[in-house]
Amino acid sequence: MDDGVETYEDLRKMREQQIKNVATDHFALNHFHDQLMSQIVHLAVEKVKKEWGPPPSPFSFFLMGSGGRFEQALWSDQDHGIVYEVTSEEASNYFLKLGKEISVGLNTIGYEFCDGNVMASNPLWCKSVEEWKRQLENWMDDESFEAIRHLLIFIDARALVGREAFIEELKQVIHSKIEESPYLLKRMLKNTMRLQKGIGVFGQILVETHGTHTGEINLKQTALFPYVNAVRLLALKDSVMTTSTLARLGALSDNSRSEWKQYEDKFRQLLQFRLRYGKQEDYEAVHYVTIDSLPKEKKKELKEIMKKGIELYNDTTKHIEKGVTK
């Protein structure tokens, strides 16, 4: 990454020039996203410093969603937050200002604003350590659909810039609560049950039948989410702190290591499949694949990946509902 970058526009041009070099390798692409976003954060900090002075306390800027899980496609929207050390009005005002500046910078270089406003420019996602702890505890006590959804979003948090220990401290609040109250996992399971079916009763791939994506399938909804949602719950059950689906699978404390390995292999295949066959025009299209354009063997590969994801999700569901450790 070029150290001579001075503006968001410089970074936008660099993204356009260099992203093609990593567009076919999932891991290289996600390292590239990390580097771009880190540079945006540093540029934003420098901009805010000029007007408001240095940050009033140590902080962590963290990613959530696909960024938090190190699973971004070519295009991605924003899911991020800030946690800072000192609880004060000055700190709140400062870091909200910084959060807004980072959000603008990320948007300038090609990361869409989050439709759900899960961004550090929103006070809900920009708080001190103590305020964050209270908020997490409130979400766990609340147990409403929205509160649990927020918890699940936060569980994918990964520190990008700043104090990683802040994120670990906050996640420990959730893991401790789950150890005390395992039923919370069942509440989380209910929140992730609305999976879009991708394979029909006769084994056919179910495509969109109307609208701009007619004849296409949404890989995010039908293929990625069964793996992501199941493995997140398994990781919570095992108190695994890491965020990527592959790393979580690798950290699960099951006796049958070979069983997790098959899911790792299929999910890794899926990540590469999305880059190879997903539409690449923009964020709205990036998760869609035109089924008729796939070679026969690739349709078969996709079906196998999807079947394995549903198998994993259904198995996880049964074990969490019964309260049985896999």
Per domain, the residue ranges of the chain are 8-181, 195-322
Residue 325 has a pLDDT of 46
Give mean pLDDT, residues 214-218.
Answer: 90
Class of domain 8-181: alpha beta
pLDDT digits over 97-132, tens only? Answer: 999 999 999 999 999 999 999 999 999 999 999 999
CA dihedral 8, 12, 13, 14 (to 10 degrees): 90
- 280 neighbors 262 (Cβ within 8 angstroms): no
Type and span of the H or E element at 3: none
Number of residues that this document lists for the chain: 326
Q: What count of other Cβ atoms lies within 10 Å of the Cβ of residue 197?
A: 11
Task: Determine what percent of the chain is predicted with pLDDT higher than 70.
Answer: 96
pLDDT digits over 266-285, tens only? Answer: 999 999 999 999 877 777 77
**pLDDT class of 6 with cuts at 50, 70, 90:** confident
> Which DSSP string do the residues of 153-202 spell out, in sequence order?
HHHT-EEEEE-HHHHHHHHHHHHHHHHH-THHHHHHHHHT--PPP-B-TT
